[in-house]
Amino acid sequence: MIITRSPLRISLGGGGTDLPSYYREHGPGFLIAAAIDKYVYITVHDTFDSAIIVKYSKMERVNTPQEVQHPIVREALRLVGIENPHIEIASMADIPAGTGLGSSGSFTTALLKALHAYRKNLVHPEELAMQACDIEINRLGEPVGKQDQYIAAFGGVTCFRFHSDEKVEAWPMRTSTETLHSLEDNLMLFFTGFTRSASSLLRDQDDKTKQKDGEMVKNLEFVKELGARSLEALETGNLRRFAELMNVHWEHKRGRTKGMSNDSIDNLYRIAREHGALGGKLIGAGGGGFLLFYTEDRSRLRHAMTECGVREVRFRFDFEGTKVVIA
């Protein structure tokens, strides 16, 4: 049996500029992301059945990869070149999909890593991320960016620059160990109670960017600049400045597409700011998922969110990226 895991992620600045519709015409895109110790797991093993068995929220039993209904599984099998009708694939996750933590990219990288291990292939994180992007963006035509696949594959607190020729630069954020630990200690993640499909929200951004909508392009240009300023604040250890920039980012993100927020999310954000959150934003495409806050008073903020019936998810950074756990 082969078991792989791939980390979920939080965005720390520049999110949205990793979509091809932006960086191909207005690039390069830039963002900072952090992998966290919440994972998508994939298991792959041989069976005695003459079938391809795929288990996720449904169960499929088919004879060829072309018959698999799950689009990512189908395309991953085809990409890696697996025709074996004696294989079982199953997935599990620490946090459900539709919550803004990049689960689709983590699923795809974990799946590809497992299938490559099954074929005894060595695959570099960059190649793994490229293949995952090829499946989601090119083969399936999803209106998603490259952030999720790359941060899942690489792990860490990592900076990415997305060029118009499809090249991606990746490098670890250059900051002190003390700042990194303080950042990790002072970030808090709360589930809003809403799940949603990122595709519909990202489709709106994608379409407007392709149409060269002035307001959308201006918004993304400003978000990219905020990403650069956030990186400077983090690398110089000015975490309060980083928290301020989180708030500015959230205000601009809210104006990007309809459905980005709602009254319940806005109310939670307001209460958090009144109870010790120096900065915050909604993670992912918007519309639900997780609120991320920076605070120097964790107990006060935790108590306020608990009073609102909001669940906290505690996390640490992951520096291993997508990996084989058992082979």
What value does the mean pLDDT of the chain take?
Answer: 93
| pLDDT average, residue stretch 182-190 | 98
Lowest-confidence segment of 70-79, 91-100, 179-188, 301-310 by average pLDDT: 91-100
CB atoms closer than 10 angstroms to residue 61: 12
CB atoms closer than 10 angstroms to residue 101: 30
Is the pLDDT reported for residue 237 higher than 80? yes
Rounded to an integer, what distance in angstroms lies between the CA atom of residue 300 and that of residue 131? 44
| Per-residue model confidence (pLDDT) at position 83 | 87
Q: Which domains does the chain possess? A: 2-175+318-326 (3.30.230.10), 177-312 (3.30.70.890)
Q: Cis bond leading into 28, ω under 30°?
A: yes
| Per-residue model confidence (pLDDT) at position 257 | 67
Rounded to an integer, what distance in angstroms lies between the CA atom of residue 23 and that of residue 10? 21
Helix (H) or strand (E) holding 251: helix 239-254
